Chains A and B, each alone.
Chain A
Amino acid sequence: DQQVKQNSPSLSVQEGRISILNCDYTNSMFDYFLWYKKYPAEGPTFLISISSIKDKNEDGRFTVFLNKSAKHLSLHIVPSQPGDSAVYFCAASWRNNDMRFGAGTRLTVKP
């Protein structure tokens, strides 16, 4: 039973436009949420995170939104750049130890 779900396997956007990646979770015990970016043949790298006590966190072009009542988070990338093309994983953790990942969304930013 997958506790973190990314229902869109792929997303394609035009350079300069907004990319919105979505993630849903089922475990209400999750208290920390993260987004990772992964290029082929490399390990995932951390992008941005949010604690369950917040509903928004911003870092440059990247913003993560958390809606606890809907058990939903999203990553906004504005403006999107070709170098953002990668697989993006949503992750969630609780008890300061365990971490679960979604299936990933492949983002393609077209020039």
Chain B
Amino acid sequence: DVKVTQSSRYLVKRTGEKVFLECVQDMDHENMFWYRQDPGLGLRLIYFSYDVKMKEKGDIPEGYSVSREKKERFSLILESASTNQTSMYLCASRTSGPNEQFFGPGTRLTVL
């Protein structure tokens, strides 16, 4: 059974804190993605990675950075959390080629 796991389901942080969101997949997928989901805006791509140590900006990378040191792990970092980063964060992975992405359960982050 394929699996994408995220380190936390719910997280509450304070403004200015550094936040790490971890994602691990066990499918040996090359590509990994971070999205945020907000009402009325759907899923917006923050960053993605198509290989270890490679990263590319998505549509809304400002305020975020990522790290991919190992193939199975893709981390999203909020350097200094702000209230407008309160959102549902979804990690996904897929192999190369035209096929579906597999999503983790999501992390609901609240920044106070």
Contact = CB atoms under 8 A, between A and B. Distances in A.
Q: Which residue, of B42, B50, B97, B106, has the highest number of chain A Cβ atoms within 10 A?
A: B42
Interface in B1-58: 4, 9, 31, 33, 35, 40-45, 48, 50, 56, 58
B90 A96 contact: no
A34 to B, nearest CB: 6
A43 B90 contact: yes
Contacts of B31: 97
B42 A46 contact: no
Chain B, interface size: which category? 20 to 34
A103 B105 contact: no
A9 B41 CA distance: 10
A96 B100 contact: no
A49 interface: yes
A30 to B, nearest CB: 11
B42 A89 contact: yes
Given A51-B98, A97-B48, A97-B50, A44 B43 contact: yes
B74 interface: no
Interface in B48-74: 48, 50, 56, 58-59
B43 A43 contact: no
Contacts of B100: 34, 46, 49
Interface of A: 2, 6, 9, 31-32, 34, 36, 41-46, 49, 51, 89, 91, 93, 96-104
27 contacts: A9-B40, A41-B105, A43-B4, A43-B90, A43-B103, A43-B104, A44-B90, A44-B103, A45-B103, A49-B98, A49-B99, A51-B98, A89-B42, A91-B43, A91-B101, A93-B98, A96-B97, A97-B50, A98-B48, A99-B45, A99-B94, A100-B45, A100-B59, A101-B44, A102-B42, A104-B42, A104-B43
